[in-house]
Structure 1
């Protein structure tokens, strides 16, 4: 690897460390000098070996650069000039005047200001809520939620001092083990520096220190590699980046990569060993994308500082606009699709697209005093259009010939074959027999692929339950005919995936040389070897029948309260594309000079921060929500307690949800669990996300209810339809806000009523008002003196009577007249409910119930909410195999 490129990435990640040193009270010098002095004094960075890095730290600031140029301390081709301009690009402002003023302000009064939430500036759902982060510390066992702003709230020096001590410890470890690499340093900074601002004197300090230096390093590496293409590799960086500022050159490629067809691959399986196969297939593609990212970056001598966003089946990167980049991207795309055709057929396809961009465009008019347009929207639009165009021509001529040639290797038919019981693919009978899976209903014969997906499903389950150990998914070189799960390397070869767990870092290091690459799951591994730290939403309730194994449907459904039903939750963020394209435009913003500046806050750095926030929530916070653990040390504002209205767990027990998280990425969730836990988890998820996003961003969801033997594909499809219904709720209705909704049970196309609600109505009106009330006054079990569990003060209302009342309520939505419930028939039905007249509390409950039901059925929305509440209540008391009509 190019040593100058390595030093450039490390220097760009460390160049602003003086800000932390100053805020910790260790030095009062200008931050560029304070940072260099600290690293040298503490012996964290060898001065002779890393002279170029010290230059980047000392001379990235405009005034130092001016002074330096007078004294000619730097060579004209010093990398410090690149970091100087990369800093401008990442900031989205030209720092010459900005920093002069800012340094004065920073010294005076704003150095301790906390990090603002990135959601404060979003315009999608505007409100007056503004939040910031009160704590600087990252904790993998808690999630740092932003809290409402308090005037003059500042971060104390001692908190920055704690951050500095941890950084010192990690830097010393990297020095001692000789593992100071851009990859390891990036992981260290992500762990320590995401909860305080890069620039505390900015108009809105909502870009973290980590996000700023990471983007600076990404931009700097692209500039360096672009410039290295020049003849004889001779360039005057001083002129290029400090004097002339030729910012219109297309030095960058904004790159996107994604899998398509993933639903057909993941969900088209039978219900045999469904959960393990489902989870394994989902995680296989999740890990595949991570592998692709690293193969591309390593082929270009880059690190994950160039990764902008990664979630599930797609990613975005900032890469140098050089022929080698295009060559690697196109060649590897062909290699991947050859591999997919051989292993998975045409069910999954990989596409990659890229568009050239410049410093000026990435900086959204970097040279302009006032931003006059949203240039970043243009980058995203060009990339989207290119992706759409390419998807119309998926395969090369050679690949198409292989697909349609009945005699090609892709269409080879073996003799003596049978179908795999899971995926229905034909396989040699002896392979199926060898792979037989022992289950309660006999041996299940499966193909090699399904055998491996089942194992991977078990392994990802273990990765959650072995939290006291270091868990890795490792890649090891293998032959192309290996029968394990594989990924294609670039430019040739294959690696197979294996699961490993170690008690300590030292144990992992002893084996690291054997691995091609290894991925540390939800931990901050810092050791030798080609390692990556990745976050995965991997929560699952494990089987009690098999040690550390993933629970299957037939066991999971028995954990349900009342009726034995599974539920599927599908949820994702509303208007995500709009968030990224125009979320930071503010048509009403007036600058201090009195001019309108609608694009002042449109900056690439803010989009990068928003991406990381969403990824953090759906990959890290979601595990804690499912575990029912604290989301921050302090009390939350909205999230005071977990939803417990149906299950009624003992709160002190902190009993976990009976759910398996099949997939959770940068913006969406797919989970399967008991019907009662899925409902409560959906409320927890929405409440936590509302607090996290300052109620600026919403999500919509569908919740489907199914028998354990229902086909997986139809579970996913039908729940997806419910989610779409929620996303279209109130669409086009004047004065009504669209989306931000949930749909339950099922969709009846021939009925005027579907169980669809805005989240607030479902939580407050359906669950906390009507369902909670019904549960407090009625019982679906007949009162018996010998039954200790029966509350004798409650009114017994049998399921038959409820069905009659529900039919009357539904009738109001089916009629073509005024839609009023037949009051006389409704009153007659209520009158037939019997109660113990000697029990005064029961009599009071009956009279109150009758009054309350009459009040609710007079209003259409109340009546619909009542119907949903009754449905949930009957599920709670329903016996197995008794269908609810």
Structure 2
């Protein structure tokens, strides 16, 4: 019972700060308590206890009340653990900053970041609007803003806190089961992620959620350490903790390696999506297995995504032994199933409570250890690695992974695993819920994928399964409940615990009170963000890559975009040093690093869906919607016919679908877009997005403009901080081009962008900055804008195609030798300076414009801007030439 009390008391110890800021009254039974009772800085604990006592037991209430002064409580030993966890979570120093909590919103964590100060400026301090977690609110209401805008006027923070508290307590009040830790953790994430943990005595850049979560994680570790060592008291310098880092290597090769590209083209979009999701679930399952085997909580998973995870654990012999066994077991599984193409590198670093206050130092050490581990892959699995006996009788080579398998018939080209990846890719499309099943040991012996068909992912060594439900957006709550209840009933006898996870929607408790209290004893509820936007025609199959190419304007080409955050290791390792160099506050506490990590992942896992959904075409429902205004419809939309494909990739000549696309130059206002949203079909295919990187595919023109929009939004999300940037690579190919190879080329372009100084985009075989910021070099945004002007002038018959193409010929004669893909910043700069100093082309360029009306503004624009952009004219000309086809 002490363990459960500790979990909830450490998680909820500061909930009183929320209640106090909402201007609630604390319980009258605490009115005579003063700082001698609750501690010098523990006044908020009166509000914590006043809330907790209504929903949890008196021991949890007492622990929260006295978490600043455990000697006054009924369990000093547990209280001391919570007190130390609270301190080491944020490493607070009391006397440095004094802000009014009613006038201080959450400072965006990105405002603090500064790397390469000789090059970058410290950005303005921007603040997070005080809202509940909701991906559906308008973008402008989500991004960091000035303190005045964040406060929304005099006393408005109090009103915001009050409104949020009312919603929060209402959800707690209507819970049938308040004793599930994960459910309460998710509620805190929903309501306290956008409010500061502390404003008095600490910089207000750590969210109350991240502080509460890490405090609970630290407290559990300290409890387990004390339990094994039989110590009642441990010091802040004792190495009580172990930070675990895991990294799955071989991911890119696993997802995109295709043994026989032509044979594997069928259902390729679902296949790649399924393999990417498989890796996401595999990473999550490994992290959860570690947490389960080490007897930790979900709060102990500090980060999980992109094939990597970080977990806080106790520094105990039991934990060390379990971790070694887990790594060895999983790598043995990787050898057997994936021919050692995947490898789980695991490293751990022992640290004290004081060490947690400089968490970036620990992550830097772990990065080094992970790199070293990868140099000695499978060192503990040599017997498994060389124990190779293969029965070749009747076996064939899988067209995708290249592994041997027994085909069912002559037409069977894929092994069972690769077939499962296609099914997984189908099931996740617009899924609304993911059910995580923690199976008992018996299930390993009886599992049969043909019998348990609803399971989307299950691997025996991990003993955790994932099941996706169908899209429930148009279903009633009762139908949603019935579908999920049927799944739970089918697997109940084999499952120790279920977690029902709402995807991309924080309204995750809609069915909780429909279960009985007995059923809820083994069910958790939470939410998660997953980049799963897929082009799907309503009630039909998803659109294939060939369809997306057809949707492009002009040439039928597919765009492949890879992007990731620049200097991520430096941001986490050194990003806070400058901001806190004159402060006595802990620079990179575990809470601060946790906040940074969660805010990055929120963008790439959550907001990316919102951005992607803005690039769309429409189904035939839109024609009915505008039936009373046909002239508006004809003015703004054009018809595109798409031939349907069968699942094997063959054309279905008897059936086609019509989609409607906004005409070039037309721009619907936000109100109309919102009103026709239900008829929209996204054109952006998110293959993977999470952590700090992404891979998306779509019509080449939408992909180019999506990359711009994503970069713009990312800069807004990160406070337009010079130190935080994105690099990207775009590959434009025919829809018939092998996708695996196209992605590798896009990865190569991304690497060129990063090698040439970062914060750049590589497209059309050129590396250019996103924003040149006064440099002599021109940036992609300027070049694309010029391309749009050329396209517009051509559509108005004010600029001929021959003049456009003549610009490319001039470029080839004068600049091609200094252009191309570079992987060295010094070389890139040298060649660009050479281009800037070449003006020999000007007379010929002016001569070739003689076909234009020389008295027109269009002539002036093309002449003036053409001369300015000629060294990089390949980008705008390539854009417009594709669009003019």
For residues 462 and 807 of structure 2, what CA distance do their matches in structure 1 show?
66
The alignment's TM-score, normalised by the length of structure 2, stands at 0.79
Q: In 2, are the aligned partners of 1:91 and 1:212 still within 8 Å (CA)?
A: yes
Q: In 1, are the aligned partners of 2:240 and 2:314 still within 8 Å (CA)?
A: yes
Q: Indicate the residue corresponding to 1:454 in structure 2.
A: 422
Indicate yes or no: 2:769 matched with 1:777: no
Q: Indicate the residue corresponding to 2:814 in structure 1.
A: 812
Indicate yes or no: 2:491 matched with 1:512: no
- Deviation at residue 649 of structure 1 after TM alignment: 5.1
For residues 842 and 134 of structure 2, what CA distance do their matches in structure 1 show?
58
Q: Indicate the residue corresponding to 1:855 in structure 2.
A: 864
Deviations 1:681-707 (A, max 9, x none): 111101111111011211110111011
Q: Indicate the residue corresponding to 1:765 in structure 2.
A: 782
Query: Which of residues 695, 713, 728 in structure 2 aligns to 1:688?
Result: 713
Q: Indicate the residue corresponding to 1:323 in structure 2.
A: 317
Query: Which of residues 373, 392, 397 in structure 2 aligns to 1:414?
Result: 392
Indicate yes or no: 2:122 matched with 1:127: yes
Query: Which of residues 742, 761, 764 in structure 2 aligns to 1:715?
Result: 742
Q: In 1, are the aligned partners of 2:242 and 2:348 still within 8 Å (CA)?
A: yes
Indicate yes or no: 2:100 matched with 1:116: no
Q: Indicate the residue corresponding to 1:535 in structure 2.
A: 528
Indicate yes or no: 2:673 matched with 1:653: yes
Deviations 1:447-467 (A, max 9, x none): 21111111111111131xxx5
- Deviation at residue 378 of structure 1 after TM alignment: 3.0
Question: How many equivalent residue pairs?
Answer: 748
- Deviation at residue 721 of structure 1 after TM alignment: 1.4
Deviations 1:293-350 (A, max 9, x none): 2111122222111111112211111111111211221111122112222222121111
Q: In 1, are the aligned partners of 2:430 and 2:533 still within 8 Å (CA)?
A: no
Q: In 1, are the aligned partners of 2:18 and 2:161 still within 8 Å (CA)?
A: yes
Unaligned runs of 5+ residues in structure 2 are 32-42, 513-519, 617-661, 675-679, 773-777, 819-833
Indicate yes or no: 2:473 matched with 1:500: no
**Mean Cα displacement is larger for which, 866-875 or 449-458?**
866-875
Q: In 2, are the aligned partners of 1:566 and 1:706 still within 8 Å (CA)?
A: yes
Q: In 2, are the aligned partners of 1:52 and 1:80 still within 8 Å (CA)?
A: no
Alignment partner of 1:93: what SS? coil
Identify if the C-alpha distance between structure 1 residues 426 and 327 changes in structure 2 by more than 3 Å, giving closer, same or farther.
same
For residues 431 and 305 of structure 1, what CA distance do their matches in structure 2 show?
48
**Mean Cα displacement is larger for which, 50-59 or 514-523?**
514-523
- Deviation at residue 172 of structure 1 after TM alignment: 2.5
Indicate yes or no: 2:401 matched with 1:423: yes
Q: Indicate the residue corresponding to 2:3 in structure 1.
A: 5
Q: In 2, are the aligned partners of 1:543 and 1:550 still within 8 Å (CA)?
A: yes
Indicate yes or no: 2:591 matched with 1:579: no
Q: Please give the residue correspondences for 1:342-357 in structure 2 after superposition, counting only pairs within 5 Å.
A: 342-357=336-351
Q: Please give the residue correspondences for 1:337-416 in structure 2 after superposition, counting only pairs within 5 Å.
A: 337-364=331-358, 376-396=359-379, 399-407=381-389, 412-416=390-394
Q: In 2, are the aligned partners of 1:542 and 1:548 still within 8 Å (CA)?
A: no
Q: In 2, are the aligned partners of 1:44 and 1:168 still within 8 Å (CA)?
A: no
- Deviation at residue 548 of structure 1 after TM alignment: 4.7
Q: Indicate the residue corresponding to 2:825 in structure 1.
A: none
For residues 851 and 725 of structure 1, what CA distance do their matches in structure 2 show?
35
Q: Please give the residue correspondences for 1:747-762 in structure 2 after superposition, counting only pairs within 5 Å.
A: 754-759=766-771, 761-762=778-779
Identify if the C-alpha distance between structure 1 residues 487 and 341 changes in structure 2 by more than 3 Å, giving closer, same or farther.
farther
Q: Indicate the residue corresponding to 1:639 in structure 2.
A: none
For residues 52 and 90 of structure 1, what CA distance do their matches in structure 2 show?
22
Identify if the C-alpha distance between structure 1 residues 821 and 536 changes in structure 2 by more than 3 Å, giving closer, same or farther.
farther
For residues 254 and 298 of structure 1, what CA distance do their matches in structure 2 show?
16
Q: In 1, are the aligned partners of 2:576 and 2:588 still within 8 Å (CA)?
A: yes
Deviations 1:137-192 (A, max 9, x none): 22232362211222976543232222222222232233xx3352221111110011
Deviations 1:795-825 (A, max 9, x none): 2513x44333311123211469963344454
For residues 115 and 536 of structure 1, what CA distance do their matches in structure 2 show?
22
Q: Indicate the residue corresponding to 2:55 in structure 1.
A: 44
Q: In 2, are the aligned partners of 1:256 and 1:314 still within 8 Å (CA)?
A: yes
For residues 273 and 25 of structure 1, what CA distance do their matches in structure 2 show?
57
Q: Indicate the residue corresponding to 2:798 in structure 1.
A: 795
Unaligned runs of 5+ residues in structure 1 are 241-245, 365-375, 437-444, 592-596, 631-643, 730-737, 747-753, 780-790, 836-841, 879-885
For residues 245 and 682 of structure 2, what CA distance do their matches in structure 1 show?
35
Identify if the C-alpha distance between structure 1 residues 740 and 202 changes in structure 2 by more than 3 Å, giving closer, same or farther.
farther
Q: Indicate the residue corresponding to 1:440 in structure 2.
A: none
- Deviation at residue 39 of structure 1 after TM alignment: 3.2
Identify if the C-alpha distance between structure 1 residues 778 and 608 changes in structure 2 by more than 3 Å, giving closer, same or farther.
same
- Deviation at residue 76 of structure 1 after TM alignment: 4.1
- Deviation at residue 379 of structure 1 after TM alignment: 1.3
Q: In 1, are the aligned partners of 2:13 and 2:64 still within 8 Å (CA)?
A: yes
Q: In 1, are the aligned partners of 2:536 and 2:682 still within 8 Å (CA)?
A: no
- Deviation at residue 213 of structure 1 after TM alignment: 0.8
Q: Indicate the residue corresponding to 2:255 in structure 1.
A: 266
For residues 284 and 74 of structure 1, what CA distance do their matches in structure 2 show?
48
Q: In 2, are the aligned partners of 1:480 and 1:494 still within 8 Å (CA)?
A: no
For residues 587 and 180 of structure 2, what CA distance do their matches in structure 1 show?
33
Q: Indicate the residue corresponding to 1:838 in structure 2.
A: none
Identify if the C-alpha distance between structure 1 residues 807 and 646 changes in structure 2 by more than 3 Å, giving closer, same or farther.
farther
Query: Which of residues 256, 260, 279 in structure 1 aligns to 2:273?
Result: 279
Identify if the C-alpha distance between structure 1 residues 82 and 215 changes in structure 2 by more than 3 Å, giving closer, same or farther.
same
- Deviation at residue 656 of structure 1 after TM alignment: 5.6
For residues 379 and 495 of structure 1, what CA distance do their matches in structure 2 show?
29
Q: In 2, are the aligned partners of 1:473 and 1:500 still within 8 Å (CA)?
A: no
- Deviation at residue 647 of structure 1 after TM alignment: 7.4
Q: Please give the residue correspondences for 1:454-473 in structure 2 after superposition, counting only pairs within 5 Å.
A: 454-463=422-431, 467=432, 470-472=433-435
For residues 821 and 871 of structure 1, what CA distance do their matches in structure 2 show?
22
**Mean Cα displacement is larger for which, 621-630 or 132-141?**
621-630
Q: In 2, are the aligned partners of 1:431 and 1:447 still within 8 Å (CA)?
A: no
For residues 701 and 208 of structure 2, what CA distance do their matches in structure 1 show?
42
- Deviation at residue 522 of structure 1 after TM alignment: 2.5
Alignment partner of 1:135: what SS? coil
Q: In 2, are the aligned partners of 1:8 and 1:221 still within 8 Å (CA)?
A: yes
For residues 495 and 431 of structure 1, what CA distance do their matches in structure 2 show?
32
- Deviation at residue 724 of structure 1 after TM alignment: 1.4
Q: Indicate the residue corresponding to 1:243 in structure 2.
A: none
The alignment's TM-score, normalised by the length of structure 1, stands at 0.79
For residues 849 and 403 of structure 1, what CA distance do their matches in structure 2 show?
68
- Deviation at residue 354 of structure 1 after TM alignment: 0.5
Identify if the C-alpha distance between structure 1 residues 297 and 674 changes in structure 2 by more than 3 Å, giving closer, same or farther.
same
Q: Indicate the residue corresponding to 1:671 in structure 2.
A: 696
